[in-house]
Structure 1
């Protein structure tokens, strides 16, 4: 295989690995174009939640997670990658500089791509230790974002904010119709959240999980969230590149949590409602722009993991360019 063919194959494999990145309601709102010398990431607005996410913030977070997935795959193959984030189209371009023996940590991180999943079950009654929390904060900061850990005295405030966002969104009939199009059933088209990934009933937690308007078949567990750690992912501003970077930071955080047998549950409702997002700014001391609330906690290793959510076929998310 020639050098150019090696590079193209590496880029193609990175795009394939990125298919398994997390996305809002598993919409997978991205498409990759593989060139001989670069890999381009494009947003697919046909898979944007236009009612729930009119500013495309969650779309950009999702695309940022996919971008980080691709970077992790390339690093595990020993490639040094240069990422360009232009102001226009595409969202990002990955260029390969040179290849060397991969770092063991990069290979281990790639293994977490396969293990990472969204888990809506209740967490165990054992709290995350300080070393794990420090690792999660460091992983987030390594990608240019910040993680504010919610203190015990702020959990009730967060619960109220989440509840207000939930009430606002459940009262919006158009939003509920949009959600119903992406959630529930077997999802044979390769997108959305199937019944197998939805709790059979909403867990009785202090900070509520999203109510999708239907129940699934996943046993959520009988625990509570008293041992969970809640956090706010935040950064400097609301520009497109900052939301994309926040998605990369979210993915780095998620992979690090997976490495430590911790689950991460994204809670986007308070971000999607303007006045509750403003309240989140107050919780983080008005230090920046909130991008996402996350629940972190150790998973019950005795319980079976939820089924993997479906993925779109390769030809719907990857295209080959001749030049």
Structure 2
């Protein structure tokens, strides 16, 4: 049967070739979309079965989802579905004096492991080295004219663009333990960073044992699971991909992992300030989903 099949394809035309030369982040983002699809199906009462990388002759076909059977949605699944609509990136400084509880970190780690990945919370002494990695990534990126041009296009998509990173979602300069990417905006970054200091932020490395495209996909699913769990616990966060994009920075992050693993993304979480920040636009479903006579084909972002 094909009527109940969802195929997920990577859209290579949307990859940033200089920022993401191997397609790691493109496939990871598709993994996030895959997990979101699974969460949506589960909330609707279905039990999705996933076949990852199902056809070696079609490398852009990343996953195939089938609905095996219906089952009542649990409150946990419904909460995950609701958090999909609430979660967003917050690059501002996090509130002071409000550390993330250990029991919440345990929930985040369990969420990642359920997806076949590992989640490594960095200890305070390791955060110092993550700061070095971020500073190094910023320096290298600033001297890569082609990558800088790609980021400029991505942050200047226009007010009506359905994607990109608007300047209003990028926090201005602030004194932080780990500097965040400014996307080359400098003084153009329009989001006030706030009054916190990020000393209570937690930095989590999403890692896998191997480093193949299927691992990048799984890392994306784990990232989604962690982020949705964090949202249900009242946390906000932002991804740090620059320390993965730059080989030297990634090697430094890899050296922090025990047990050893392959870092795929760094996540930063904490307690939000009171006001909601501006949100980045999201592409409408009509841009990414094509319904055919026999099956539904979804394109990754």
Shift of 1:37: 2.0
Give the structure-2-normalised TM-score: 0.91
Q: Which residue of 2 aligns with 1:63?
A: 30
Distance, in Å, in 2 between the alignment partners of 1:185 and 1:38 is 34
Q: Which consecutive unaligned segments of at least 5 residues does structure 1 have?
A: 5-34
Q: Which residue of 2 aligns with 1:30?
A: none
Distance, in Å, in 2 between the alignment partners of 1:297 and 1:313 is 29
SS in 2 for 1:61: helix
Asked if 1:266 is matched to 2:270, the reply is no
Distance, in Å, in 2 between the alignment partners of 1:216 and 1:274 is 26
Greater than 3 Å deviation, 4+ residue runs: 184-187
Distance, in Å, in 1 between the alignment partners of 2:238 and 2:55 is 30
Contact 2:28 2:216 in 1 (8 A): yes
Match of 1:130 among 102, 120, 126: 102
Shift of 1:216: 3.3
Q: Which consecutive unaligned segments of at least 5 residues does structure 2 have?
A: 295-301
SS in 1 for 2:265: strand
Structure 1 residues 74-153: aligned runs within 5 Å: 74-85=41-52, 86-88=54-56, 89=58, 90-125=61-96, 126-153=98-125
Match of 2:18 among 51, 54, 71: 51
Asked if 1:158 is matched to 2:125, the reply is no
* Higher mean C-alpha deviation, range 100-109 or range 247-256: 100-109
Q: 1:39 to 1:269 in 2, by over 3 A?
A: same
Shift of 1:185: 5.6
Shift of 1:100: 2.3
Q: Which residue of 2 aligns with 1:205?
A: 176
Larger RCO (CA under 8 A, 6+ residues apart): 2
Q: Which residue of 2 aligns with 1:37?
A: 4
* Matched length: 287
Give the structure-1-normalised TM-score: 0.85
Shift of 1:312: 2.4
Asked if 1:280 is matched to 2:247, the reply is no
Contact 2:112 2:225 in 1 (8 A): yes
SS in 1 for 2:90: coil
